[in-house]
Amino acid sequence: MKIAAAAYPLTEFASFAEYDAKLTAWVDEAAGQGAQLLVFPEYGAMELASLGGRAVSMDIEAALHEVARHQPAVDALYSKLAAKHGVYILGASGPAFDGKRPSNRAVFYGPAGVLGHQDKQIMTRFERETWDVVPDGPLTLFDTPLGKIGVVICYDSEFPLLARALVEAGAEILLAPSCTDSAAGFTRVRLGSMARAMENQCITVHSPTVGDCAFCPAVDQNHGRAAIYAPPDRGFPASGILAETDYDAPGWAYGEVDLTAIADLRRDGGVLNHLHWAEQAPRIAQPLRRVTTQ
């Protein structure tokens, strides 16, 4: 299959029609290149805060509510585009108010419409301390004709047990949408995503927001590059990088992926991280040896 990961800039809109036109152009471009799985970034939906005007988009609490109220129209648009091209799309995540406080939710779409969603599991300091965005829902495995797919949103990609739970449920592809305001933040997600691909012998797809966003302070600076990572082993690049965009440059990263190659590595790779994962438990169960030196 061909996978497309977006390095996505946030745009200020005067109408939902403008958002429709932007998203349609992005999906049309990737589908036109033959992509079957498209991935948009974490908090990419925050550009919809601009539809409330600057007074709303500049208020970090009001912006959450403004974005959330457009979700039915957003679902309809993504569903229409997925059906039009016969593709699968992880939509840009945004706030979902199932309770008193919002979760950070990425919705997954297929040719038949909404397939389900993944809420972020572990919140960053900004989400906890300033935004009061909360974790919600269980991990979700999407069993699709393209393969078995899991989602680890941004900070979640830095915690190996989340990804491992998805992999043990059958995931062959992990999607890692992100929104980071510094090079260091981007690097943390990049290294986490690459490590998850290595230790689980799977494909990881990293889609970040990029560029400045003057109209919404919660997402005012965005850094990164879109990329598709693989295990650095036989049949894949030694760097573990199948494809990537230039740093902070908007656009799509495209990569061709054959999941039979993933199955082959898990069975008979140069290393067998996926198979040998369980060997950690008995090793760490042993009493720790301590050595003290003068």
pLDDT tens track, the chain, 294 positions: 999 999 999 999 999 999 999 999 999 999 999 999 999 999 999 999 999 999 999 999 999 999 999 999 999 999 999 999 999 999 999 999 998 999 999 999 999 999 999 999 999 999 999 999 999 999 999 999 999 999 999 999 999 999 999 999 999 999 999 999 999 999 999 999 999 999 999 999 999 999 999 999 999 999 999 999 999 999 999 999 999 999 999 999 999 999 999 999 999 999 999 999 999 999 999 999 999 998
User: Amino acid identity, residue 55?
Assistant: A
Q: How far is CA 117 from CA 23, 104, 151, in A?
A: 19, 10, 9
Instruction: Residue 46: name the closest of 71, 29, 21 by CA.
Output: 71
Which pLDDT does position 94 carry in this prediction? Answer: 98
Task: Report the CATH architecture of 2-285.
Answer: 4-Layer Sandwich (3.60)
Which pLDDT does position 288 carry in this prediction? Answer: 95
Q: What is the pLDDT of residues 160-190, one digit of tens each?
A: 999 999 999 999 999 999 999 999 999 999 9
Domain chopping of the chain, boundaries = 2-285
Q: What is the pLDDT of residues 93-108, one digit of tens each?
A: 999 999 899 999 999 9
Which pLDDT does position 294 carry in this prediction? Answer: 87
> How far apart, in whole angstroms, are the C-alpha atoms of residue 210 and residue 88?
22
